[in-house]
């Protein structure tokens, strides 16, 4: 399994992001892609463009990168540093036992839809940063230092059907699963898991918009309802919150409902980049 993802300054992270956080995040988004396939990280490369030579910035960036790499035992085997607008491209390779890789095209009608962790913290932190307001370290950490769900992804083989990482927003990425699998989805917006910090900041009604705005790097997966017990055990053993947010249905498209069961019109949401 090979993945590659680019972070551009001002597009994928605020320009004032600390160098060590930029390095961390560049690897994290790629590990998250490997996690969504159930792959065990093996090695990676880093190509970095900087407007001008800056050893202090570069050292801090690499420190952040290697701190996360050490957590996941992934080797940095090559790199390139060159002049250009601030940008980082990581290519990461992981391994998965033959036939056990998770794919986005494997959702089945009747599956539960699950997400890991909580959604919306990163989007809230980004909103506050863009508006020049400070927010708690906890929230800011969720934006700058996402935690790729590698252990969860690797454990979902044999349990989950389809899996994807929520980098572009849960509704948009779940839409990719539906399109690839030829199925539809019904989601309860009030079921989207929220941190205490998010609940304290944002009123109930509009919370789902932040929670589907992207940059969360959690996993969204589908599984047969028979797997609920196995997932409860997994959640406990990995200490990762798993939340059921809806069901896979026949046909296509995505429908969302509020706490009263009233359908909510889904306008365009998700992270603002293309591709």
Q: What is the dihedral of CA 26, 29, 31, 35, to 10 degrees?
A: 180
Distance set, CA 154 to CA 35, 46, 101 (Å): 7, 24, 9
Q: Which residue has the tokens 């390095």?
A: 23
Does 12 participate in binding a copy of itself (rule CB under 8 A)? Answer: yes
Distance set, CA 24 to CA 63, 88, 91, 244, 254 (Å): 8, 11, 14, 29, 33
Interface segment toward a copy of itself; rule CB under 8 A; list 43-51, 59-67, 153-161, 180-188: 43-51
Interface segment toward a copy of itself; rule CB under 8 A; list 47-55, 178-186, 191-199, 225-233: 47-55
- Orientation angle between helical segments 55-72 and 19-36, nearest 10 degrees: 30
Q: Report yes or no: 116 and 241 within 8 Å, Cβ to Cβ.
A: yes
Cβ contacts of 43 within 8 Å, gap of 6 or more? 74, 75, 76, 77, 92, 93
Pick the binder of a copy of itself from 59, 63, 73, 80 (CB under 8 A): 80
Pick the binder of a copy of itself from 16, 84, 130, 132 (CB under 8 A): 84
Pick the binder of a copy of itself from 14, 66, 91, 103 (CB under 8 A): 91
Tell me whether residue 53 or residue 132 sits nearer to a copy of itself (CB atom): 53
Does 4 participate in binding a copy of itself (rule CB under 8 A)? Answer: yes
Map the footprint of a copy of itself across residues 50-69, applying CB under 8 A: 53
By rule CB under 8 A, what count of residues binds a copy of itself? 31
Does 98 participate in binding a copy of itself (rule CB under 8 A)? Answer: no
Q: How far is the CB of 18 from a copy of itself (least distance, A)?
A: 20
For residue 139, what is the enclosing H or E element? helix 137-144
Does 3 participate in binding a copy of itself (rule CB under 8 A)? Answer: yes
**Chain contacts with a copy of itself (rule: CB under 8 A):** 2-6, 8, 11-12, 43, 45-49, 53, 77-85, 87, 89, 91, 272-275
């Amino acid at each position: 399994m090979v993945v590659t993802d680019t972070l551009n300054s001002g597009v994928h992270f605020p320009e004032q992001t600390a160098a060590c956080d930029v390095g961390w995040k560049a690897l994290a988004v790629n590990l998250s892609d490997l996690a969504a396939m159930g792959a065990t990280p093996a090695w990676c490369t880093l190509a970095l463009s900087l407007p001008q030579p800056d050893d202090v910035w570069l050292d801090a960036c690499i420190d952040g990168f290697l701190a996360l790499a050490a957590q996941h035992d992934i080797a940095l085997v090559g790199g390139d540093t060159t002049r250009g607008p601030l940008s980082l491209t990581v290519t990461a390779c992981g391994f998965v036992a033959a036939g056990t890789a998770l794919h986005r095209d494997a959702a089945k009608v009747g599956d539960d839809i699950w997400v890991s962790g909580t959604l919306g913290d990163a989007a809230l932190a980004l909103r506050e940063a863009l508006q020049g307001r400070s927010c708690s370290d906890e929230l800011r950490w969720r934006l700058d230092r996402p935690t790729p769900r590698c252990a969860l992804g690797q454990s979902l083989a044999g349990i989950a059907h389809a899996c994807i990482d929520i980098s572009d927003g849960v509704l948009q990425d779940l839409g990719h699963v539906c399109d690839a699998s030829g199925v539809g989805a019904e989601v309860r917006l009030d079921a989207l898991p929220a941190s205490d910090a998010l609940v304290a900041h944002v009123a109930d009604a509009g919370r789902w918009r932040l929670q589907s705005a992207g940059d969360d790097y959690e996993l969204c997966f589908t599984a047969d309802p028979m797997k609920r017990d196995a997932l409860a055990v997994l959640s406990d053993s990995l200490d990762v919150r798993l939340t059921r947010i809806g069901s896979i249905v026949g046909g296509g498209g995505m429908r969302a409902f509020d706490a009263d069961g009233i359908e909510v019109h889904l306008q365009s949401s998700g992270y603002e980049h293309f591709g």
